[in-house]
Structure 1
Amino acid sequence: MDIGIIGTGRIGSTLARILTDAGHHTVLANASGPASLAPLVAALGPAARAAQPEDAARAADLLVLMVPFDSARGLLPAPAVKDRLVVDAMNAFTGRGEPRDLGPRGSSELVADWYPGARLVKSLNTMHFQTLATAGTAAGPPLAHYVSGDDAEAKEIVAGIIRDLGFAPVDTGSLHTGGILQQPGGPLFNRTLTEQQARTAIGAR
């Protein structure tokens, strides 16, 4: 697949590397422009290229948002992602690094409001970048990555990407229920769990 990644910090760059290693093509974008991504693109090889955020969104079969949460609102024109599969891999923190109080709604529900018509899946937001970099090829039971959303087909596509990377996809439910389980302050965030451990943690709720 052609996978767009907007946000190329430690986690976004790590995701780009393991995606290209798994045989996918990546289109990378950030706030500083394509020229700033030249070293990363060179390191990733011919399966990667850089673009402006809107161009990355329109070119990708699947788009991953990995920018700071507040930066996502208005980042793209809504038509650029309408009917497109978008992975919300962002986390809503306060300026002090604490989980933000969003009331009864999950952060992904706000993203869905910002981009109506996008096929939104919450995923790839719970694992530390150092674990993400190596755990997919490590020995032993695969670690869990989560998918939540209201579009079953979109979730299955993302689950396939997770399998490609050497992880075990675990469906946490709807964008509301599952997203809250995954976001900062939830029982799955920043925990290194196997598939069975993850399902046990979810079932204990």
Structure 2
Amino acid sequence: MKIAVLGTGSVGPAIAAALSELGHDVVIGTRDPQATLARTEPGATGGPAFSEWHASHQEIGVATLVGAAAASDLVVNATNGAASLEALSAAGAENLAGKILMDIANPLDFSQGFPPSLNPVNDDSLGEQIQRAFPEARVVKTLNTMTNSVMVDPLHVAGGDHTVFVSGNDAGAKAAVTGILKALGHTDVLDLGDITTARGAEMILPLWVRIWGALGTGDFNFKVAR
């Protein structure tokens, strides 16, 4: 499958590398490919600079947002949640129409400092905003309740005995995303329902941040015991 991963922070490269290892044809979309490839400063979470990361992942292309989305079968939104709508608009609604849009971002609001709040929250979600803005896209919210290391290697936490959620209006899109999640190693995929249920998945983040603070690591996840 041809997959475009939009976003060059810590999450985008991690998910791009994992999908490439699964055999997908992956390209990372960014506003300015040349500037991104020239980036030498360490990642915000202490990871390698993008140029260093790409040197060891040269099979993964780097293109403009438009170019990446246009050439893809599936688009992963791994952008900063506060800028996701703008980035997806830059990618072009016509390049998202009919495609699965796997939204793994969170609408974190740092305007009042740390810890962040959510915007929107309670009666709306980023997942819903994306679906409204791009009605012809097949939006599936998933993977936003864990750190990128757990997204791509779930087995290293409790042997993979934990839960990942999916929310979306399109049953076929959710089935395709579930297949990708299982290929990554996720064994417990819980379908929460339509895209409005993304509100609940996103509202896990304030709790996630506090647990991260208490444990001093993001290498954990939630398990729905039933």
TM-score (norm 2): 0.76
CA contact (8 A) 2:153 2:185 kept: no
Deviation (angstroms), 1:143: 3.3
Write the deviation string for residues 139-183 of structure 1: whole angstroms up to 9, x where unpaired.
Answer: 734432221101000000000000110112221111002x01210
CA contact (8 A) 1:65 1:90 kept: yes
Identity %: 27
- Bigger mean CA offset, 32-41 vs 20-29: 32-41
CA contact (8 A) 1:14 1:133 kept: yes
RMSD of equivalent CA atoms: 2.4
> Residue 136 and residue 60 in structure 1: after superposition, are their counterparts in 2 closer, same or farther (change >3 A)?
farther
Between Structure 1 and Structure 2, how many residues are aligned?
A: 195
Q: 1:84 aligns with which of 76, 99, 103?
A: 99
Counterpart position of 1:10 = 10
Deviation (angstroms), 1:80: 1.2
> Residue 134 and residue 181 in structure 1: after superposition, are their counterparts in 2 closer, same or farther (change >3 A)?
same
Structure 2 residue 135 is the aligned partner of structure 1 residue 109: no
Counterpart position of 1:198 = 224
3-state DSSP of counterpart to 1:13 = helix
Counterpart position of 2:145 = 126
Q: 1:149 aligns with which of 142, 146, 168?
A: 168
CA contact (8 A) 1:181 1:187 kept: no
Deviation (angstroms), 1:85: 0.8
Describe how 1:1-205 pairs up with structure 2 within 5 A: 1-34=1-34, 36-37=36-37, 39-46=52-59, 48-73=60-85, 74-95=89-110, 96=113, 97-136=116-155, 140-168=159-187, 169-177=189-197, 179-185=198-204, 192-193=221-222, 197-198=223-224, 200=226
Amino acid at match of 1:88: D
Listed as ranges, the gaps of 5+ residues in structure 1 are 201-205
Listed as ranges, the gaps of 5+ residues in structure 2 are 38-50, 210-219
CA contact (8 A) 1:181 1:188 kept: no
TM-score (norm 1): 0.83
Deviation (angstroms), 1:87: 0.9
Amino acid at match of 2:163: A
How far apart, in 1, do the equivalents of 2:157 and 2:107 lie? 30
> Residue 167 and residue 184 in structure 1: after superposition, are their counterparts in 2 closer, same or farther (change >3 A)?
same
> Residue 164 and residue 133 in structure 1: after superposition, are their counterparts in 2 closer, same or farther (change >3 A)?
closer
How far apart, in 1, do the equivalents of 2:108 and 2:206 lie? 16
How far apart, in 2, do the equivalents of 1:143 and 1:20 lie? 24
